[in-house]
Amino acid sequence: MDVIYGLIPGMILMGLIAVGVLFWAAKSGQFEDMEGEASRILMDDDVQIKPKKSRDDAKEAAKEE
């Protein structure tokens, strides 16, 4: 029963910290553009990315030269 005297203030402190972080995130603009970031991942880039050459490919290219 004595443990509850430490747990209650600890949980109130953690709750106040969580509310403070929520207000800080809202004030700093974390929640302003919810749709833009979600749809950005769906857009394709026109740039083609070349795969890296493996070590075996590099060894074969060196042998050919």
Confidence of residue 49 (pLDDT cuts 50, 70, 90): low
pLDDT of res. 10: 96
- The torsion angle over the Cα atoms of residues 26, 29, 34 and 38, rounded to 10 degrees, is -130
pLDDT reported for residue 2: 86
- Enumerate the domain spans of the chain: 16-43
Taking residues 59-63, report their average pLDDT.
Answer: 68
Residue 19: the pLDDT is 98
List helix spans (H) across the chain: 4-27, 34-40, 55-64
pLDDT score of 41: 73
pLDDT tens, residue by residue, 1-42: 889 999 999 999 999 999 999 999 999 988 787 777 677 777
